[in-house]
Structures are given as structure tokens and as C-alpha cells.
Chain A
Amino acid sequence: MLRRGLSFVAGAALGVALWWFFTPQYNRLFALASTPLVRIDRRLSAAVLVPQERAIFITSSTALPTATIPADQLTYNVILLLGLFAANARPFSVRNLRALAIAATIVFAFHCIGLLISIESTYALRQGEWSSAHYGDAAGHFWLTAELVYRTVGMFGVVFGSWWTLSRESQL
């Protein structure tokens, strides 16, 4: 148990370092991959996602208002992800590394969904008259709730679910 605890701390420390130092680089990929998802909503079809250090800035050549999303607040669940996989038995085995790669892909997909939710919530509620003109009360409530659920429990639930399913722990 002590070994696993220490391994968790080491993995989490690596996660903190990655999250802290590589968020600007990650945000470039993150913005690129999320753009098609965001543009599915016709209200946001002209949105251009521009990574800016730890945030993603949304701009457009149309009347769409600009917005800044603190993207690093959507991605720090990588700390838990790396900690959990580091705590597994034989963390450097091919099996564990392959499981980590699959879990990281799942988490990345949910980062994109989390960014979509944050953008929708921002445009539904925090853009004054533009929000009122383009979103109803029910839509605003839905996106706010989705944002709260993702940012408080959902982002960690995805990590836990991926780890539990893909690692030997679920054999218990």
C-alpha cells in the first residue's frame, strides 16, 4: 500500500508538472480538435478558437461576441489520471501503458466536450443581450447545469471510470 501511495504521489506530481508547464501547448491541440464540435451549433458556427497561454479566446468575423474560457480549469484531471495509473501494479508494463493511452484518449475527448459545454454556458448566460436573443431560459439552465456537473464531479468521474475499467483494479 505504501509503494502504491508513493507511486500515486509521483504520478500526480508528474501530472501537476505536465498540466502546469504544457497547458499552452496542449491548448493548441485542444482548440483545434474542439473547433468542429463547437461549430455544430449554428449560433457558434463562425467561432474561431484561439489558444492564449492557459486560456482559449473565442473570436469571430461575425457579430458573435468574444469570450475567454479558462481552459486549464477543464483539464487538470490529468493529475488524477497519471496518479491512478502510476499507482497500478507494474506501472511501466506494456499493458498498463496501453491502458493509460486509451484512458488519456477518452479523457481528451471529454476535455473537448467539457470545452464545448463551457463555451455554450458562457454564450448562453454571460453575453448580455446576445445571450438573451439566442438562448432561452431552459437552454441557459441546461448549459449551466452541465458546466457545473462537468467541472465539479464529471471530469473526475471520467478519469475514475476510465482507470477502473481499463486497469486490473476492476478484476476485484
Chain B
Amino acid sequence: MPLAPRQTRFLITFALLLTAFYAIVTLDAVDAHVVVPFTRGLTAVSGALLNAIGQHVNVVGTVIAGPRFAVDVRGGCNGLEAVVFVAAAMLSFAAPWRTRIIGAIAAALILEAINVIRVASLYLIGLYHRSLFETFHLAIWQTAMFAIAVLLFVVWVSKFAAPNAATRT
């Protein structure tokens, strides 16, 4: 099953961009000035969502604490990995640059909105079904975030990127 040059190019660019974007996100300066403040904001929104549905939680920094359970939102739980993933995929695809950039920004916003639900749901799972917390934290939600990222990419390719690529060529 030989790969077409276009597929090979996509895969190589995707792997390089994924690694490069992730490396940037993990730089100390980026972490301190971008990732940590962003994660605090995400935590505040997730805490507000939990309070809106009747949970009584306090948010301090990246910690959401209730009377019986607390979660600390750290790297890996802020959704940035899935954002980096989908951005690398979209920017690697042969479509007009405007389409790629708009797609990546839209996908990032959608993923982060879903990540708020992820954090809130993990708090609730930890509170009410603690034995399931690690499985959901590690495997289920992490997989779901990347599955949603793939879904966004596929929808973007079929609705926006591929038609534009076809008309361009």
C-alpha cells in the first residue's frame, strides 16, 4: 500500500509541527507566561460552571476545591495537547492558508469549550464515583479529546479544506 507523495508530505509535516508546537508549549517561559495563566482561567471557568449547577466549590489558582474533593488542573488537563494536535493537522493539510488558520482557531475554541466540561465532569466523577476517576482522567477523557480533535479535522477537511484545495489545483 504505497503512500502518495501528498500523504507522505502531510504525515511528515504533521509529525514535525506536532513536535515543534508541543516543544514550544513546554518551554519554561511559555509555560510561565502563557500556559499557567491560561490554565488558571480555564480553572476559573470550570469552577463557575460547577457553581452554576449547584456545587459549592472554591477556585484557587489551578485548584477547584469542594467540601469532599478537589482537582488540580495541570498540564495535560488544559486541553492544549489536543489543540496542538489539531492545529498541526490542519496546518499540514494542503488547503489555502486562510482556511487552515481559521480552522485551527475555530477548532481550538471548540476544544477548550469541551475541556471546561471535561474538568467539571472529572470533578463530579471524583466526588461521586472516586473509583472511576483515574480511568476517566487518564484514558476516557484524554481519548475523547483527541477523538474530538480528529472529528473536527475530518469535518474541516470535508466541508472546507478539500473543496478549496480542489478548486485551487
B85 contact from A16, A84, A148, A153, Cβ within 8 A: A153
Contact yes or no, B85 A157, CB < 8 A: yes
A172 contact from B11, B76, B158, Cβ within 8 A: B158
Interface string of B1-35 (1 = CB under 8 A from A): 10100010011001100110011001000000000
Closest CB in chain A relative to B38 CB, distance in Å:
16
Interface string of A8-30 (1 = CB under 8 A from B): 10001001100110000000000
Verify if B147 is at the interface (C-beta below 8 Å from A).
Answer: yes
Closest CB in chain A relative to B13 CB, distance in Å:
11
Interface size on A, residues (CB 8 A): 33
Best-surrounded residue of B15, B22, B23, B139 (most CB of chain A within 10 A):
B139
Do A161 and B15 contact each other (CB < 8 Å), given the known contacts A148-B26, A172-B162?
yes
Q: Which of A53-95 touch B at CB < 8 Å? A: 73, 76-77, 79-80, 83-84
Chain B residues with CB under 8 Å of A16's CB are 139-140
Verify if B133 is at the interface (C-beta below 8 Å from A).
Answer: no
The interface residues of chain A, by DSSP majority, are classed as helix
Q: Which of B118-162 touch A at CB < 8 Å? A: 135, 138-140, 142-143, 146-147, 150-151, 154, 157-158, 162
Residue of B nearest to A8 (CB): B147
A-B contacts counted at CB < 8 A amount to 74
Q: Which of A154-169 touch B at CB < 8 Å? A: 154, 156-157, 159-161, 163-166, 169
Q: Within the assembled complex, what's the spacing in Å between the Cα atoms of A77 and B150?
A: 13
Q: Within the assembled complex, what's the spacing in Å between the Cα atoms of A8 and B150?
A: 11
Chain B residues with CB under 8 Å of A84's CB are 147, 150
Q: Within the assembled complex, what's the spacing in Å between the Cα atoms of A161 and B7?
A: 10
Closest CB in chain A relative to B1 CB, distance in Å:
7
Q: A153-B81, A160-B85, A165-B11 are in contact. List 19 more A-B contacts (CB 8 A).
A: A8-B147, A16-B139, A76-B139, A77-B143, A79-B140, A79-B143, A80-B147, A149-B19, A152-B76, A152-B81, A153-B18, A157-B14, A157-B85, A161-B11, A161-B14, A164-B7, A165-B3, A165-B7, A170-B7
Show the binding face of B for A, using Cβ within 8 Å.
1, 3, 7, 10-11, 14-15, 18-19, 22-23, 26, 76, 81, 84-85, 89, 135, 138-140, 142-143, 146-147, 150-151, 154, 157-158, 162
